[in-house]
């Protein structure tokens, strides 16, 4: 546990405060009555932690800034008269971590402006109404603080404003804050002292815009949760006005400083004005349905009135101001992007100099990526640098040495470099890899397609009963299906409609695949792979079936067939399970929450940690990853049809009621209902690490949400009468997922059970589900042969002209089929970046010190403490499972433990950790 060393104070007038003296006894990471969770993450030893103390107020401990004045008489300041009360508001502002000289000078000027009361105006609004105006009682004051209180080496400053209020003013429930400066500032919180109930906290964690950019004052509510019907009379108007200001009017182009949430279709992925080949269809409507994204209001392209014009990096895509990365996250992501640029730049230069994009010629070429890295002398390429206008930052990084050009050895081969060759590892990764969400039980035989046979040929698979029964150790197919021993990874119907278009792209050759597995006493084993091409007049049944064999030729053909399956799995993982089912589907929930739920609504307070950074990372993805000509198109099999494939998956298989973990497992036949088990289901394969660990996380979330909902809603009528929660859910269905608005499977929202189920699903998707399919991308995909993201050749057949070459050098055929060196290094760089935890990550069950005053409710804080403790137990259970030698999918010689759902992580590529939100 980390001890908290009290920093030296600059302000001598508060240095002797008992508040400050109490800092000596503060230990970071322990529980206090405010509900802070114990953490082992060293990042909490500095930064915002250095401005927190514990103030005793009778039997209550309340977190506050150390810059607050000493209070007397249970937190009240002395009254100036019997009918008036002296009140002080302490405003905490976060400054930049690294300031330029000009910014420091500007800061001094701002302090001067504040000192004369011309910088920040704040207005206290009472929960009680003024009988004259019918609105909340109010009183206004200006910050008059010549020298802000601050801590040495801290980027937080405290200002004060003094009020004299009538004794019958009532409890302040809101603050209006007006920024008279010429630029924005980041408001952490305002604490009001002087009222009989002790300090009153107004948590903000928000950018306050200059009046020049937004003439309206910002409304900050105190940390008391109210359902709409419970809103104090003095705050009702402000509650409504605040929501109206966030929604905007749906017109005009959004400015960087705006805090407006609205919807738009995915019509900004293409760039037809730049190149006809970069035109992309709009993802919206019956033909190509898709969730909605955050509206930016940019004008249409000149070439296509239905497509929105693009903003190319480094210029930012609009997201509401509070959704942007904080400084430490921005620095981390920039470093990740720099690393990606380097990894892209170096092979690009090599390709430019050699006039070709070379395949790997031997496996040692791949090993060099980790052992030697890229060797490139700056002197030999200075003209190329000049022509490419490489930023100075990159030049310096290149000069820094070879270290930046070397990849870390991925976990999958650091323990056993040959594991990827084996069938048991191929099967294990369907249960414990980066994409463990597509395997399902085989429910019928023969295997049938649901595609139109008039277009796609006979629906029957060529995987025959005889072929399967050869591998069943005397068991019949019917018996194996009944005993749930046969499983399938089926990408046939999803991919076949796209195969012809994909294979028309240069350097792309793909099949629609089916893979059948048999569960033996020693684990899952692949027994047959079917690879299909679209039917042709000469070959209406254009399918081939492969089985593992014992001769050299069959062995290499089987290896190539597995590589094609892995390539399909990588594409479906990235475009469907990762992007669509977590990133894209979550965005409408977030937009609707801001538009329809007041920040004082208890459900908004519950969801708020699970919305952090998602809109910003999605905007960056639309700009650089999933856009026309972006990294995903360049490096994955579907190429320019990638997002159309994602749209087809949304159309054919996405349904909200199946996005919860138990429902998804039951749908895939991987579990059956069992109320006595975690999540209410029993796994068909006990050694299914993703599902087994995920159900522990799911159950902890559900228990926490269930108790939270029960605390605020007395009965089901209070759910149906909650106008904000009903508007939120209706907007998610009818605007955010507009193309699915008429589906009959949307859950109702009439009961506490309904609300618990909806919220648990959303929190699971944002936390556990995203973690399970995101942070293993580099650990599993960082070694190209294990998980090629595209294939460049079909499996050789005897009638092919290159079949003899295959027989003479099968290794060369394999290496020339997987991504080239440039493609591989590009996707490795991206996977490395996407698998990285930021130093400011907020993990499930943790309470960030910035948000320790998120709610004024001791029972909720106690429930959160219970949730946090439960997740600590989950962590110990997972660690114990990873040492259980009977669980072969997570233990054994060279087998990496399954850690993707361990709740906590250090920064970096760790292959573990469950953040609260989709933040990368």
Hey, which residues are catalytic here? Answer: 578, 583, 770, 774, 920
Distance spanning both ends of the chain, measured CA to CA: 28
Spacing of C-alpha 405 from chain mean position: 27
Q: Which helix (H) or strand (E) holds 208?
A: strand 200-208
Q: Is the peptide bond before 314 cis (omega within 30 degrees of 0)?
A: yes
Alpha helices in 418-464 (DSSP H): 423-432, 453-456
Beta bridge partners, 513, equal: 531
Grouping H, G, I as helix, E, B as strand and the rest as coil, residue 365 is helix
Q: Give CA torsion, residues 438, 440, 444, 448, to 10 deg.
A: 10
Both tokens assigned to 716? 């089901």
DSSP 578: I
Other Cβ atoms closer than 10 A to 454: 6
Beta bridge partners, 57, equal: 60
Question: Following DSSP, what letter does each residue of 37-94 receive, concatenated?
Answer: PP---GGGGSGGGGGEEEEEETTEEEEEETTSPP-BTTTBPPPSSSSEEEEEEEEEEE
Other Cβ atoms closer than 10 A to 539: 11
- Closest-CA residue to 559 (of 421, 660, 438): 421
Taking a C-beta distance cutoff of 8 angstroms, is the pair 384, 352 a contact?
A: yes
d(CA 871, CA 904): 9
- Closest-CA residue to 527 (of 420, 427, 670): 427
DSSP 27: B
d(CA 340, CA 854): 37
Question: Following DSSP, what letter does each residue of 744-773 receive, concatenated?
Answer: TTSPP-SSHHHHHHHHHHHHHIIIIIHHHH
d(CA 421, CA 374): 26
- Closest-CA residue to 280 (of 253, 255, 308): 308
DSSP 890: T
d(CA 628, CA 364): 33
Other Cβ atoms closer than 10 A to 541: 11
């Amino acid at each position: 546990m980390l001890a908290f060393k009290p920093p030296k104070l600059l302000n001598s007038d508060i240095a002797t405060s008992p508040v400050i003296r109490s800092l000596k006894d503060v230990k970071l990471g322990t529980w206090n009555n405010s509900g802070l969770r114990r953490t082992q993450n060293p990042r909490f030893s500095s930064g915002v932690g250095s401005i927190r103390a514990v103030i005793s107020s009778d039997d209550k401990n309340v977190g506050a800034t150390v810059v607050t004045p000493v209070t007397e008489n249970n937190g009240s300041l002395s009254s100036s008269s019997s009918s008036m009360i002296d009140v002080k508001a302490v405003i905490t502002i976060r400054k930049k971590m690294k300031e330029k000289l000009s910014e420091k000078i500007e800061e001094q000027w701002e302090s001067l402006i504040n000192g004369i009361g011309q910088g920040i105006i704040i207005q206290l609004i009472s929960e009680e109404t003024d009988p004259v105006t019918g609105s909340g009682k109010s009183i206004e004051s200006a910050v008059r603080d010549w020298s802000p209180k601050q801590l040495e080496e801290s980027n937080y400053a405290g200002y004060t404003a003094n009020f004299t209020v009538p004794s019958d003013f009532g409890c302040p429930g809101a603050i209006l804050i007006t920024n008279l400066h010429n630029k924005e500032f980041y408001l952490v919180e305002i604490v009001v002292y002087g009222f009989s109930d002790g300090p009153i906290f107004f948590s903000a964690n928000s950018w306050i815009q200059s009046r020049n950019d937004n003439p309206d004052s910002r409304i900050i509510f105190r940390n008391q949760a109210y359902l709409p019907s419970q809103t104090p009379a003095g705050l009702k108007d402000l509650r409504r006005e605040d929501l109206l200001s966030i929604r905007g009017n749906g017109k005009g182009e959004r400015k960087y400083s705006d805090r407006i949430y609205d919807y738009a279709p995915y019509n900004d992925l293409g760039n037809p004005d730049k190149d006809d080949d970069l035109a992309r269809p709009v993802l919206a409507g019956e033909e190509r349905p898709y969730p909605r994204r955050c509206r930016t209001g940019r004008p249409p392209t000149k070439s296509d009135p239905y497509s929105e014009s693009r903003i190319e990096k480094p210029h930012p895509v609009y997201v509401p101001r509070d959704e942007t990365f904080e400084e430490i996250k921005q620095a981390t992501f920039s470093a990740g992007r720099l690393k990606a640029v380097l990894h892209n730049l170096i092979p690009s230069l090599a390709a430019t100099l050699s006039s070709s994009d070379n395949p790997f010629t031997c496996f040692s070429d791949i090993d060099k990526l980790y052992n030697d890295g890229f060797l490139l002398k700056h002197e030999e390429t200075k003209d190329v640098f000049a022509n490419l206008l490489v930023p100075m930052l990159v030049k310096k990084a290149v000069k820094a040495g070879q270290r930046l050009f070397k990849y870390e050895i991925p976990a999958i081969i650091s323990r056993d470099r040959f594991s990827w060759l084996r069938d048991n590892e191929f099967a294990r990764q369907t249960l414990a890899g980066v994409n463990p969400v597509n395997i399902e039980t085989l429910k019928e035989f023969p295997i049938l397609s649901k595609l139109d046979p008039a277009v796609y040929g006979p629906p029957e698979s060529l995987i025959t009963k005889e072929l399967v029964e050869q591998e069943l150790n005397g068991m019949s197919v019917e018996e194996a299906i009944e005993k749930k021993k046969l499983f399938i990874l089926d990408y046939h119907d999803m991919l076949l409609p796209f195969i012809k278009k994909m294979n028309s792209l240069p350097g792309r050759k793909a099949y629609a695949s089916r893979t059948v597995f048999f569960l033996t006493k020693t684990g899952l084993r692949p027994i047959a792979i079917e690879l299909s091409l679209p039917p042709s007049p000469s070959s209406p049944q254009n399918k081939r079936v492969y089985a593992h064999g014992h001769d050299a030729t069959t062995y290499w053909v089987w290896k190539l067939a597995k590589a094609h399956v892995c390539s399909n799995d990588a594409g479906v993982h990235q475009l469907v399970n990762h992007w669509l089912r977590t990133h894209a589907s979550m965005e409408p929930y977030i937009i609707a929450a801001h538009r329809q739920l007041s920040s004082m609504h208890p459900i908004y307070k519950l969801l708020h940690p699970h919305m952090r950074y998602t809109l910003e990372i999605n905007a960056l993805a639309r700009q650089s990853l999933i856009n026309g000509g972006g990294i995903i198109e360049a490096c994955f099999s579907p190429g320019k049809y990638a997002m159309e494939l994602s749209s087809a998956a949304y159309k054919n298989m996405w349904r909200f009621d199946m996005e919860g973990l138990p429902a998804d497992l039951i749908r895939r036949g991987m579990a059956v209902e069992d109320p006595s088990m975690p999540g209410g289901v029993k796994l068909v394969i006990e050694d299914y690490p993703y599902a087994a660990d995920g159900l522990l996380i799911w159950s902890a979330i559900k228990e926490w949400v269930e108790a939270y909902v029960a605390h605020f809603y007395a009965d089901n009528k209070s759910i149906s009468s909650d106008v904000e929660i009903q508007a939120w859910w209706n907007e998610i269905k009818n605007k955010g997922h507009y193309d699915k608005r008429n589906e009959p499977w949307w859950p109702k929202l009439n009961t506490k059970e309904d609300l618990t189920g909806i919220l648990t699903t959303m929190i699971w998707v944002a936390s556990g589900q995203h973690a399970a399919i995101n942070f293993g991308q580099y650990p599993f995909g960082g070694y190209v042969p294990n998980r090629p993201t595209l294939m460049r050749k079909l499996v050789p057949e005897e009638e092919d002209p290159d079949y003899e070459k295959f027989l003479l050098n099968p290794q060369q055929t394999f290496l020339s089929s997987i991504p080239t060196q440039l493609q591989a290094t590009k996707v490795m760089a991206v996977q490395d970046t996407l698998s990285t935890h930021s130093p400011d990550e907020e993990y499930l069950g943790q309470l960030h010190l910035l948000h320790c005053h998120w709610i004024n409710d001791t029972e909720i804080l106690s429930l959160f403490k219970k949730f946090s403790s439960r997740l600590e137990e989950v962590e110990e259970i997972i660690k114990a499972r990873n040492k259980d030698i009977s669980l072969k999918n997570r233990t054994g010689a060279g087998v990496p433990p399954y850690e993707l759902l361990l709740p906590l992580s250090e920064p970096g590529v760790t292959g573990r950790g469950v953040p609260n939100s989709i933040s990368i």
